[in-house]
Amino acid sequence: MMVSVPRSTRWIFVALAIVATPPITKLHSQQPAQAGAVADPVFDKTEVMIPMRDGVKLHTNIFVPRGFTGNLPFLFDRTPYGIEGGERNFAGPFSELAHEGYIFVFQDIRGRYKSEGQFVMLRQMRDKKDPKAIDESTDTYDTIDWLLKNVPRNNGRVGMLGVSYPGWLTVVAMLDPHPALKAVSPQASPADMFIGDDFHHNGAFRLSYGFEYATMMESSKERQAFVFNDSDTYDWYLKLGSLAHINETHLHGKIPSWNDFATHAAFDSFWQRQAVAPYVNRVTVPTLSVAGWWDQEDFYGPIRIYELLEKYDTKHLNYLVVGPWNHGGWAGGTGAKLGNIDFGTPTSVEFRRDIQAPWFAYWLKDKGKLNLPEATTFEAGSNKWERRDSWPLRTGVTSRRLYFHANHELSFTPPAEKTATAFDAYVSDPANPVPYRQRPIPPTWGRGSTWSRWLVDDQRFLNDRKDVVSWTTAPLTDDVVIAGDIAAHLRASTTGSDADWVVKLIDVYPDAGEADPKLNGYELMVANDVLRGRFRKSFEHPEAITPNHVDEYVVDLHTQDYKFRKGHRIMVQVQSTWFPLIDRNPQTFVPNIFEAKDSDFKAQTHRIFRSSDAPSFVQLSVVDNAK
């Protein structure tokens, strides 16, 4: 079946007949080849079931372009989300690659859509001592081996890329790669589902995402969204009560991932085996990790994968790109805006054209020169791309602390107060949790969802909440540029025996003078995250908090490249609920929150201290002599 992809078309919807594994020789055309890139590529599609080493067959679509001379490399994308309509990629996220000339391969992973076998969410790495064991790495290896032997006119090289789950599948493929795998780009790949990616952040369970994703993926072989009977999911989750009621009233033990969430409530061997860190012990192929500063699902993962690989990168094969994107925002559209924030340049187009396309052409086709720095990062605020020789920056930055002060002031000057009354207090009530975005909150996926942009939403909707405490600088007299890691150090106490600590670093726009009136006074989150207090010392061994005892809580706010402009103010905000993004902490210690009783949830008073002997602050890497 022929698929034509004109340059002027944004998306192409073509109904293609199912082909019953035709002879692979029909994949290429006898049409005279043209030299160089093709303006309007035409593809021949073949649908095959590729056998794995254990006999399971995986549904795979192969697209071979016409009009190119010589042998071509493969670009391979594996996914649990269904491959039908994959040709739309050629007029969208893969447009630049399609015009360059590759044999594209899309595959449903084991147990999804038309592929055989059993689906296992983020299947753990196999035991290599067992010759019959399989995992996503062996399925990738076996597929590449089959492609090399059965698809004519290939040049013996394979590149892999993917966003989110397909990004993780790309990481798994490079851990134990087929010799023909010559370049990979894991994009928004999760790295650790308990520490920082989709399902938990620093031990706090991501309720709405975890519940809705697990039910969507494991209710059938195809995606099937959970149907809420409430127009505001905030209300639905609050009425639910304890997480123990999920299986009692809705899932009845039928969703494996939910059962895993409920059973493994600490960073035990289950989560440790699933994380990539133990397996990333060498650089096997050139790697381009891609992340978005406002990725609502997997920002921790790609940064962590880059950092892990960097330890072993003796041949300079490990690269990083971070742009002003949400989850996968670089793969579609222009990337000029996210929500109300205008970046002034088509960042997604620039990435696909100037970085991704040359990257694969260099490694898979020996084309051009690789003109990439160690890290390419977009400095929002000034709205420009920066070429960095390391990430985080090792030179040209100074570690500085933004301290909390009385009267809700924030300053680089340390506090002078020594009194025990130097604190700000608030009551956190699980019965009235702070919403994580403007209500009503629609489902994570589906019509009307604002999930993809909530991280850039204006935070002023929380101004009237008494359980959200803020500290703010005076208007800046000079630009402040941060480029590197961010961490909040809270000295805090609670009347309870457990607590969550949510910290946000916010850019407060001036009240007047913005070109877009919507941005006057806007409060834009620059960095944020949550720490579940029981994990303050160890993610493996949770501990109750001693009531009314001042402890230090270090909340990892990850990393950023951002300019707070002159005239803006910097705000730090602290709260203890973020609902239903994060499940409610009972605030009385129970061994497993998934088994908590409704009566365990109690309002507690939290104190944030700001004295000289118990200071609270946010640690930043501030660029010297920023321009």
pLDDT digits (tens, 9 = 90+) for 411-447: 999 999 888 889 999 999 999 999 999 999 999 998 8
CATH code, domain carrying 579: 2.60.120.260
Same domain (yes/no): 44, 95: yes
Domain assignment of residue 455, yes or no: yes
Residue 252 covered by a domain: no
Between 490 and 38, residue with greater pLDDT = 490
Query: Average pLDDT of 237-250?
Result: 97
Is residue 261 domain-resident?
no
Q: Is residue 164's pLDDT more than 60? A: yes
Average pLDDT over residues 98-107: 96
Given a cut of 50, is residue 245 above it in pLDDT?
yes
Return the percentage of the chain with pLDDT > 70, whole number: 94
Q: Is the pLDDT of residue 239 over 50?
A: yes
b or e along 391-415 (b: 16 or more beta carbons within 10 Å of the residue's beta carbon)?
A: bbbeeebeeebbbbbeeeebbeeeb
Q: Please report whether residue 249 resides in a domain.
A: no
Q: Does the residue 542 lie in any domain?
A: yes
Task: Name every residue whose Cβ is closer than 8 Å to that of residue 31 and which is 6 or more positions away in sequence.
Answer: 42, 66, 67
pLDDT of residue 625: 85
Let me know whether 164 and 290 are in one domain: yes
Note whether 611 and 500 are same-domain residues: yes
Report pLDDT digits (tens) over 257-284: 999 999 999 999 999 999 999 999 999 9
Q: Are residues 418 and 441 in the same domain?
A: yes
Query: Residue 36's pLDDT is what?
Result: 53
User: CB–CB of 176/186 below 8 Å?
Assistant: no
Tokens of 363: 């490694």
Please tell me whether residues 95 and 138 are part of one structural domain: yes
Is the pLDDT reported for residue 565 higher than 50?
Answer: yes
Q: Please name which of 611, 412, 617 lies closest in space to residue 505, comparing C-alpha atoms.
A: 617
The pLDDT tens digits for 33-55 are 333 555 678 999 999 999 999 99
User: What residue type is 486 in one-letter code?
Assistant: I
- Is 538 a member of any domain? yes
Mean pLDDT throughout 467-486?
98
Instruction: Please state whether the peptide bond connecting residue 580 to the residue before it is cis, i.e. omega within 30 degrees of 0.
Output: yes
Burial class of residue 15 (count of CB atoms within 10 Å of its CB; 0-12, 13-18, 19+) = exposed
Q: Assess whether 380 and 405 both reside in one domain.
A: no
Per residue in 339-358, pLDDT (tens digit) is: 999 999 999 999 999 999 99
Tally of structural domains, the chain: 2
**What is the pLDDT averaged over residues 168-193?**
97
Q: What is the pLDDT of residue 39?
A: 65
In a domain, 283, yes or no: yes
Instruction: Write down how long the chain is.
Output: 627
* 566 has pLDDT over 50: yes
Tell me which of 388, 416, 446 is where a domain ends: 388
- Are residues 342 and 425 both part of a single domain? no
Here the CATH number for the domain that contains residue 90 is 3.40.50.1820
| 566 plus 465 within the same structural domain | yes
- Stronger pLDDT, 524 or 627, i.e. the higher one: 524
Rg (CA), the chain: 25
Nearest to 457 by CA among 322, 596, 339, 364: 339
Same domain? 366 vs 484: no
Last residue of a domain, one of 388, 423, 456: 388
* Domain match, 424 and 358 both: no
Q: What is the DSSP letter of 248?
A: I
| Same domain flag for 437 and 499 | yes
Q: What is the pLDDT of residues 349-408, one digit of tens each?
A: 999 999 999 999 999 999 999 999 999 999 999 999 999 999 999 999 999 999 999 999
| Range 579-606 average pLDDT | 98
Alpha carbon distance 213, 200 (integer Å): 13
Mean pLDDT of the chain: 93
Say if 602 falls within a structural domain.
Answer: yes
Structural domain boundaries enclosing 544: 397-623
Same structural domain, 417 and 557: yes
pLDDT tops 90 at residue 7? no
Q: Is residue 54 within a helix (H) or strand (E), and if so which, with residue range? A: none
Domain boundary among 340, 365, 388: 388
